[in-house]
Amino acid sequence: MKARLVLSVISLLLLLITVVFFTAASPVRMDFPIYLRTFGLLFAAVGIVMIFLQFVFVSRIKIIEIGIGLDRMLRWHRIMGRTGLALVTLHAVMIAFYRITVFGELFPNTFIWVGLIALIGFMITAALASLYKKIAIAYETWRNIHLLNYLLFPFVLIHVFYHTLPGSLLCYLYLVLAVLFAAVIVYRLISIRYIKNNPYEVVKVSQEAEDIWSLYFKGKKIQYRPGQFMFIQLLRNGRLSSPHPFTISNSPTREHLSITPKDLGDFTSTIKETRVGDKAYIDAPYGVFSFLNYDQKELVFIAGGIGITPFMSMLRYIYDLRLDLKVTLFWVNGSEMNLCFREELKQIQEALPHLRVVLVMTRQDDWEGEKGRLDADIIEKHLDTLEHKDFFVCGPVEMNRAVIALLKKMNVPSSRIHSELFSL
């Protein structure tokens, strides 16, 4: 509901800008060069608003994120950024044609170069954001380059303020954007300062499987719902890591925060090097992936690999409070060597009569349970009906999409399928 409201407000804002722009811009003659200039300026106005919105969606503003989910906001961030960049690029091309046609020149002043530098900078950061995994750029390097956008946007504002008539509607629009952009920066700086002033301490490092480790932290108590996630920076051997998102694998009913990463990259491969006493800086909570946000009494959890972590948080919560819920957990792994929390899951299952755990192995022929990819036959075999159940899906992005498509094919309504497609 809140997501639709936010998108509706944005759509109305962009429509209002378009209507007001054409109402205000009413030249006597509208030949081809004037059309180029008019639409070029409109594309600039709409594009700059969309580029500004990408900063809003990525700045972790909790009053906006609550009820929407940061994963969804990051998708909006990418859409707004790319669309805004396309519109601003069209603006540059159309104004260039206009200037050549009317004045026979492209660069009459320095401030056009300022705008061009910003545009090229946005193009570079957008390309790296889209391709950094394919060209094997380290996450930390990509993130630091991406942060340059915060320096480039003031160049955009300088460019448009110079070329906008004082007192015009466009001038007021850009003035509002400048104030709001400054407010976003201030919010992030205050948030960072608060996080740095409230460090956490690593109190336990536990190996859960061959390449899976849990870290436990003590510090300021955080109110969160089981299934939510946090951003964490680790201070080890005098070196501070970049912030990385991880699900909070522990339950809010328990004393310590915890994360349980699998060795999948540059940062997660160093988790085992963390020592008790190391400091951590935690920004939490985020996300809406929690059964507490829904009313159904019958839950189906579908996990892929380390996607079990939000479900461990939820199951620990259900176990600690002895909630009267009927839960079926499908957990897909390559082999039983990848299983973590196995003994704890067994303990929880013994204590909760309405919990069924179905382990599915995709690459272990001698496994006595379910084997192969999770399909409709396996799901229907272990569920009496698909009615009156909420389905929660968490795993690799490709698996999430495949399982969601499968559930929809099985006529499960989208309103009862919940997933967190979180990918930076």
> pLDDT of 338-369, one tens digit each?
899 999 999 999 999 999 999 999 999 889 88
- The token pair at 290 is 């929690």
Please, are residues 258 and 217 in contact by the beta-carbon 8 Å criterion? Answer: yes
> pLDDT of 118-137, one tens digit each?
999 999 988 887 777 677 77
State the CB neighbour count (10 A cutoff) for residue 297.
15
> pLDDT of 280-330, one tens digit each?
999 999 999 999 999 888 999 999 999 999 999 999 999 999 999 999 999
Instruction: Compute the average pLDDT of residues 63-92.
Output: 92
Domains of the chain: 2-195 (1.20.120.1770), 199-286 (2.40.30.10), 295-310+320-419 (3.40.50.80)
- DSSP annotation of 194 reads H
Beta carbons within 8 Å of 42's beta carbon, 6+ residues apart: 18, 21, 22, 25
Range in 177-186, 243-252, 335-344 with the lowest mean pLDDT: 335-344
More confident residue, 170 or 371: 371
- The token pair at 407 is 């559930």
User: Residue 81 burial (CB < 10 Å; 0-12/13-18/19+)?
Assistant: buried
Beta carbons within 8 Å of 23's beta carbon, 6+ residues apart: none
Q: Considering the chain, what percentage of its residues have pLDDT values greater than 70?
A: 97
In 219-316, DSSP assigns E strands to 229-236, 239-240, 244-247, 257-259, 279-286, 298-304
Provide the whole-model pTM: 0.89
Measure the CA–CA gap between 66 and 200, rounded to whole angstroms: 24
